[in-house]
C-alpha cells in the first residue's frame, strides 16, 4: 500500500479546496464559492419555474395576484413549457456530441488520424441495422454506418433504430403512449415549436414531448455517441487508475483535459506520449508529461487508457488553483467560462478547441477530425512550453489520491460477473449471473447513480454518502459522469479498500469477481450503457424493467443534459430520484404529472421522486427496492 493509497472523506476534500482557495486569494482569483454567495438568494420565480420570457410581451411572472401571463397562459403551462425547453437543451447537446462522433467515424481511414479499434462492434451494429456487411472493407462499412447513423438525426419517417433494443414490453408502452422517439432533430425542433408563443400550454402535452425528446437522446444520440466511441477508441475493459487532485504531478508538465468528446482527448493523450514531446518537456526541466482529466472527458480517457481523474464538475477551478496546471484543454459542455479569467491569474493556458464552446480569455486552437494530429500536437507543445512559466511558490497540490478500477462497459460487466452466482458455461454472455445474485438476495438490487455537482448540495457529499448507504445494504451501484468521479475520488472504486463499506453479500460478489462495489460505466452519454444493461436484465429475466429492483438517481444534478437524461431513464421504466428540483415546484399539475400516480407513471410505469434531504432519499430508495423485491416474491 502506498502512502496515498486510502479512502478519502468529503471533509479531506473540503480541506484541500480551502487550501487551494487560499492559493487563489494570493493572486486575486475569483471562485464559484464566492459567486454563489453573490448570486444568493436566487430568484424565486426562476426557482419555481413560474417566469415566462418566451415572447417579448413579458417577462410574465405568476403570483396569486397575477395568476396568468399576458397571453393568458396559466402557471401550469408556463412551468411545463420551461420544463420542456430545459429538457431539449440537454437532448440537443448530448445528441450533438453523438453527431460529432458519427462525423469522426465518417473520417476514419486506414493509417488515418482515426481508425477503427473495435471492428466486431461495428459489424455487430451494422447487422443490427440490417446493413450488408459481407465482403466489405471495414472502412467502407464505417462510412456507410456513419451516414446511416447521421440520418437518425433528420430522417423524415420512422423511429430510432436503437429503440428496438428495448424489451418488447417497453416498446409496447412507448407505442401505446405515442412516445417512441422519431428523428432526434425533429424531437428537439418540435419541442421548440410546441413551446413557441401561442402553441402548447397543456402540461400533459408538454410532458409527453419531454419524454419523447429524452428518449431520442437516450436511445438515439447518446447511444450512438457511446457505441461509436467504442468502435473508434475501443470498448472499455476494467483498468486501474487513480483519482483526486493528488494525481497532478509537481515535477511534470500537467495537461488537464476537460469536456466530453473523446475525439480531442484521445489525440492529446497520444501526443503526450510522443517521444519528441517528452524530450521537449525534459529539456525544459520537467520529468515528463502528465495528462489528467476533469468531468466526462476524464471518464473517457480513464476507462480506455487509465489516465488519472483529477476531479469532477466543481473541481474544475481547483486544478488551475494548484498553480501546477500548464494547460486546461477543453472541448464541449460543462466548462466554466470562469476558467478564462482564473487561468490569467496563474501561468495556465486555457485552450478552447470547439466552435461550439468559444470563451473569452482563452486561446482557441480549433480541432477537427481532418487536422486532429496537427491540432493535438500544437496543443501539447503549447502546454509543454508553458512549464517554464510556472511560479514555484504558487504550486500547491493537495496530497489526496485514491485508487480506482474503471471501465465497466456492459460487455465488461457481463464478463466479470459470469461465474459469481452461476458458473454454468451456457450463461456466459448474458446477465443471468447478475440476475441470480439479485434473485438469491446476495445483492438486494442496483442503483444507477449519475449526474453532476451542484453548489446547492454540499459537493460530492450526496453522491458519496448515498453510495455508502447502498453498499452497506448490499445494493450494487453503477455510476457515470461526475457521480463516477465523486466515487473514484473517495476511493469507492478501489477494489480492495472499498469493500469495507459493503454488506456481506456485496462484499462476497466483489471478492469473487474482483470488482469494486461501485462500477464505473463512463461519461454522461454512457448512461445509454445503463439503459442497455437494464434492457438485457429485463430480457434475460422476463421481468419488465419497471419491476426490477433497479433505480435511477441524480442527487447533485445541475445541467439541461441531466433533465434529458432523467426523462429517458424514467421513460425506460426506472423510478428516478432527484436531489434538486427541476424548476417545476411552481405547478401542482406538473408535480402530479412527473411525480404522482396519475401522470407519466400511467404511460411508462415509473416516475420521479424529488427529495432534497439526502438521508431521506436513501431510505426511500432502499424501501422502493425492497418493495419491488416483495412484489416479485424474491
Beta bridge partners of 293: 257, 309
Nearer to ligand MSK, 212 or 561 (CB): 561
Please identify, using beta-carbon distances, which residue of 539 and 561 lies nearer to ligand MSK.
561
Rounded least distance, CB 460 to ligand MSK, Å:
12
- Taking the least distance from each CB to ligand MSK, the nearer of 181 and 481 is 481
Nearer to ligand MSK by Cβ, of 247 and 295: the residue is 295
Based on its alpha-carbon atoms, the radius of gyration of the chain, rounded to whole angstroms, reads: 24
CB of 404 to ligand MSK, least distance (A): 16
**Is the CB of 427 or the CB of 564 nearer to ligand MSK?**
564
Nearest CB to ligand MSK, comparing residues 451 and 549: 451
Cα separation, 228 vs 523, in Å, equals 14
CA distance 460 to 247: 18
Q: Tell me how far apart the alpha carbons of residues 273 and 307 are, in angstroms, rounded to a whole number.
A: 12
Q: Say how far apart CA 577 and CA 460 lie, in whole Å.
A: 16
Residues 6+ apart with CB under 8 A from 270: 376
Residue number with CB closer to ligand MSK (179 or 332)? 332
2 C-beta neighbours (distance < 10 Å), count: 8
Of the pair 312, 318, the CB lying nearest ligand MSK is at 312
The helix/strand/coil state of 346 is coil
Chain-centre distance of CA 611, in angstroms?
21
- Residue 25 CB neighbour total at 10 angstroms: 11
Q: Which is nearer to ligand MSK, 89 or 203 (CB)?
A: 89
Least distance CB 441 / ligand MSK (angstroms) = 32
Q: Cβ 311 to ligand MSK, closest distance in Å?
A: 10
Distances (CA, A) of 521 to 13, 74, 515: 23, 42, 13
Task: Kindly state the DSSP code that residue 480 receives in the 8-state scheme.
Answer: -
Cβ pair 223, 163 in contact under 8 A: no
State the Cα–Cα distance between residues 604 and 573, nearest whole angstrom.
6
| 116 neighbors 98 (Cβ within 8 angstroms) | no
User: Could you tell me the smallest distance in angstroms from the CB atom of residue 116 to ligand MSK?
Assistant: 25
- Considering the complex, state which of residue 244 and residue 541 has its C-beta at the smaller distance from ligand MSK: 244
Angstrom CA distances, 397 to 244, 347, 424, stand at 10, 15, 49
Strand partners, 291: 255
Bridge-based pairing of strands 475-479 and 445-449 is: parallel
Residue nearer to ligand MSK on the CB measure, 108 or 312 = 312
Print burial letters for 52-71: b (CB count within 10 Å at least 16), e (below 16). Answer: bebeeebebbbeeeeeebeb
Cis bond leading into 41, ω under 30°?
Answer: yes
Minimum distance from CB of 305 to ligand MSK (Å)? 18
Question: C-beta of 445: minimal distance to ligand MSK in Å?
Answer: 23
CB of 308 to ligand MSK, least distance (A): 17
| Torsion angle defined by CA atoms of residues 227, 231, 232 and 235, in that order, rounded to the nearest 10 degrees | 80
Phi, psi of 185 (to 5 degrees): -60, -35
Q: Which residues of 317-329 are buried (b: 16+ CB within 10 A; e: fewer)?
A: bbbbbbbbbbbbb
Minimum CB distance to ligand MSK, residue 31 (Å) = 17
Q: Of the two residues 433 and 566, which places its CB atom closer to ligand MSK in the complex?
A: 566
Which is nearer to ligand MSK, 106 or 313 (by Cβ)?
A: 313
DSSP state of 363: E
Nearer Cβ to ligand MSK, position 219 or 313?
313
Nearer to ligand MSK, 173 or 482 (CB): 482
Q: How far is the CB of 377 from ligand MSK (least distance, A)?
A: 26
From the CB of 527, what's the least distance to ligand MSK, in Å? 9
Q: Which three cell numbers stand for residue 407?
A: 471501465
C-beta of residue 439 within 8 angstroms of C-beta of residue 47:
no
Alpha-carbon span 49 to 322, nearest angstrom: 38
Spatial separation of the C-alpha atoms in residues 493 and 243, rounded to whole Å: 10
Query: Ramachandran region of residue 478, left (φ > 0), alpha (ψ -120 to 50) or beta?
Result: beta
Look at residues 124, 171, 376 and name the one whose alpha carbon lies nearest to residue 274: 376
Can you give the binding site for ligand MSK, defined by CB under 6 A?
260, 295-296, 312-313, 333-334, 451-452, 481-482, 523-524, 559, 561-562
User: 600 vs 71, 491, 606, CA distance in Å?
Assistant: 27, 37, 7
The length of the chain is: 634
Q: How far apart are CA 226 and CA 229, in angstroms?
A: 5
Amino acid at each position: 500500500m502506498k502512502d496515498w493509497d486510502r479512502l478519502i472523506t468529503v471533509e479531506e476534500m473540503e480541506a484541500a479546496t480551502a487550501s487551494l482557495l487560499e492559493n487563489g486569494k494570493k493572486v486575486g482569483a475569483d471562485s464559484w464559492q464566492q459567486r454563489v454567495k453573490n448570486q444568493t438568494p436566487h430568484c424565486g420565480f426562476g426557482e419555481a419555474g413560474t417566469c415566462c420570457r418566451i415572447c417579448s410581451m413579458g417577462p410574465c411572472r405568476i403570483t396569486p395576484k397575477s395568476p396568468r401571463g399576458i397571453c393568458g397562459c396559466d402557471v401550469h403551462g408556463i412551468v411545463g413549457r420551461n420544463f420542456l425547453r430545459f429538457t431539449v437543451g440537454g437532448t440537443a447537446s448530448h445528441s450533438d456530441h453523438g453527431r460529432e462522433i458519427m462525423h469522426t467515424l465518417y473520417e476514419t481511414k486506414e493509417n488515418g488520424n482515426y481508425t477503427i479499434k473495435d471492428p466486431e462492434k461495428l459489424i455487430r451494429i451494422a447487422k443490427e441495422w440490417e446493413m450488408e456487411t459481407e465482403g466489405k472493407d471495414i472502412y467502407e462499412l464505417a462510412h456507410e454506418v456513419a451516414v446511416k447513423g447521421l440520418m437518425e438525426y433528420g430522417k423524415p419517417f420512422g423511429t430510432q433504430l436503437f429503440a428496438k433494443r428495448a424489451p418488447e414490453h417497453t416498446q409496447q408502452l412507448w407505442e401505446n403512449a405515442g412516445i417512441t422517439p422519431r428523428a432526434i432533430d425533429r424531437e428537439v425542433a418540435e419541442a421548440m415549436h410546441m413551446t413557441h408563443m401561442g402553441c402548447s400550454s397543456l402540461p400533459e402535452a408538454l410532458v409527453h414531448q419531454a419524454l419523447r425528446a429524452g428518449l431520442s437522446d437516450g436511445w438515439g444520440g447518446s447511444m450512438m455517441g457511446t457505441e461509436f466511441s467504442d468502435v473508434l477508441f475501443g470498448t472499455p475493459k476494467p483498468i486501474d487508475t487513480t483519482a483526486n487532485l493528488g494525481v497532478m504531478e509537481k515535477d511534470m508538465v500537467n495537461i488537464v483535459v476537460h469536456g466530453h468528446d473523446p475525439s480531442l482527448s484521445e489525440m492529446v493523450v497520444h501526443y503526450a506520449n510522443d517521444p519528441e514531446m517528452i524530450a521537449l518537456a525534459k529539456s525544459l526541466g520537467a520529468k515528463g508529461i502528465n495528462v489528467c482529466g476533469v468531468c466526462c472527458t476524464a471518464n473517457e480517457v480513464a476507462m480506455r487508457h487509465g489516465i488519472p481523474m483529477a476531479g469532477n464538475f466543481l473541481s474544475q477551478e481547483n486544478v488551475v488553483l494548484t498553480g501546477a496546471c500548464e494547460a486546461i484543454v477543453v472541448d464541449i459542455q460543462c466548462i466554466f467560462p470562469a476558467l478564462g479569467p482564473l487561468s490569467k491569474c496563474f501561468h495556465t493556458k486555457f485552450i478552447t478547441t470547439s466552435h461550439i464552446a468559444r470563451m473569452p480569455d482563452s486561446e482557441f486552437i480549433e480541432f477537427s477530425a481532418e487536422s486532429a494530429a496537427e491540432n493535438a500536437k500544437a496543443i501539447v507543445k503549447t502546454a509543454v512550453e508553458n512549464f517554464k512559466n510556472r511560479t514555484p511558490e504558487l504550486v500547491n497540490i493537495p496530497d489526496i489520491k485514491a485508487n480506482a478500477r474503471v471501465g465497466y462497459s456492459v460487455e465488461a460487466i457481463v464478463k466479470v460477473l459470469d461465474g459469481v452466482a452461476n458458473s454454468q458455461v451456457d450463461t456466459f454472455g448474458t446477465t443471468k449471473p447478475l440476475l441470480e445474485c439479485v434473485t438469491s438476495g446476495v445483492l438486494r438490487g442496483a442503483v444507477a447513480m449519475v449526474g453532476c455537482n451542484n453548489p446547492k448540495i454540499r459537493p460530492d457529499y450526496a453522491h458519496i454518502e448515498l453510495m455508502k448507504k447502498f453498499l452497506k445494504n448490499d445494493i450494487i451501484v453503477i455510476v457515470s459522469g461526475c457521480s463516477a468521479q465523486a466515487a473514484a475520488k473517495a476511493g469507492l472504486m478501489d477494489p480492495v479498500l472499498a469493500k469495507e463499506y459493503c454488506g456481506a453479500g456485496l462484499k462476497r460478489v466483489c471478492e469473487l469477481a474482483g470488482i469494486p462495489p461501485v462500477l464505473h460505466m463512463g461519461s454522461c452519454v454512457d448512461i445509454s450503457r445503463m439503459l442497455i444493461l437494464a434492457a438485457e436484465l429485463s430480457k434475460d429475466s422476463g421481468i419488465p424493467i419497471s419491476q426490477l429492483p433497479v433505480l435511477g438517481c441524480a442527487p447533485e444534478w445541475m445541467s439541461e443534459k441531466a433533465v434529458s437524461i432523467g426523462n429517458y431513464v424514467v421513460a425506460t421504466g426506472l423510478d428516478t430520484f432527484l436531489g434538486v428540483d427541476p424548476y417545476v415546484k411552481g405547478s401542482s399539475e406538473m408535480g402530479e404529472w412527473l411525480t404522482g400516480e396519475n401522470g407519466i407513471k400511467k404511460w411508462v410505469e415509473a416516475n420521479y421522486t424529488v427529495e432534497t434531504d439526502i438521508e431521506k432519499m436513501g431510505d426511500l430508495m432502499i424501501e422502493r427496492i425492497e418493495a419491488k423485491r416483495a412484489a416479485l416474491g424474491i
